[in-house]
């Protein structure tokens, strides 16, 4: 059974970089069938797609965040990560990693449990 688990600091200071890692177990990031994505949900608000990465390392991002975000796959090939620079309070959210089977359409079928990241001094 595929499982995803987010990890990283729960508190980040304004203007610093938010870094999260998603560990994938029960499956391989290296399969050329899947994309792997990051999404977030501010408290009490709707979901926002941040970006997705293919096993090859090719990534695409939400234009609203593109200047600040990087998604990468770790050399271990069991983890992928999110870096978001110059954070503000507006970046406070639950961050999710998820799998996209990337068939003829895109959707997220497996999700991590989520990691709350608070931006505060």
Partner 1 sequence: DTQMTQSPSSLSASVGERVTITCRASQSISRYLNWYQQKPGKAPKLLIYAASTLQSGVPSRFSGSGSGTDFTLTISGLQLEDFATYSCQQTYSPPYTFGQGTKLEIK
Question: Which residues would be at the binding site for partner 1 (CB under 8 A)?
Answer: 45-49, 60, 62-64, 96, 98, 105-109, 111-114
Q: What angle do CA 24, 70, 12 make, to 5 degrees?
A: 85
Minimum Å gap between C-beta 75 and partner 1 is 27
CB 45 → partner 1: shortest distance, Å?
Answer: 8
Give the contacts of 43 (CB within 8 A, at least 6 positions apart). 92, 93, 94
Calpha distance 13→119 (Å, rounded): 5
CB of 7 to partner 1, least distance (A): 15
Cβ closest to partner 1, residue 49 vs residue 54: 49
């Amino acid at each position: 059974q595929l499982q995803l688990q987010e990890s990283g600091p729960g508190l980040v200071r304004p203007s610093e970089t938010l870094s999260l890692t998603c560990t994938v177990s029960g499956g391989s990031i290296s399969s050329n069938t899947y994309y792997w994505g990051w999404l977030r949900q501010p408290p009490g608000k709707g979901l926002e797609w941040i970006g997705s990465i293919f096993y090859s390392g090719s990534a695409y991002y939400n234009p609203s965040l593109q200047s600040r975000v990087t998604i990468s796959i770790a050399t271990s090939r069991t983890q992928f990560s999110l870096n978001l620079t110059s954070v503000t309070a507006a970046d406070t959210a639950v961050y999710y990693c998820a799998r996209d089977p990337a068939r003829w359409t895109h959707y997220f079928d497996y999700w991590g449990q989520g990691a709350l990241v608070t931006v505060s001094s």
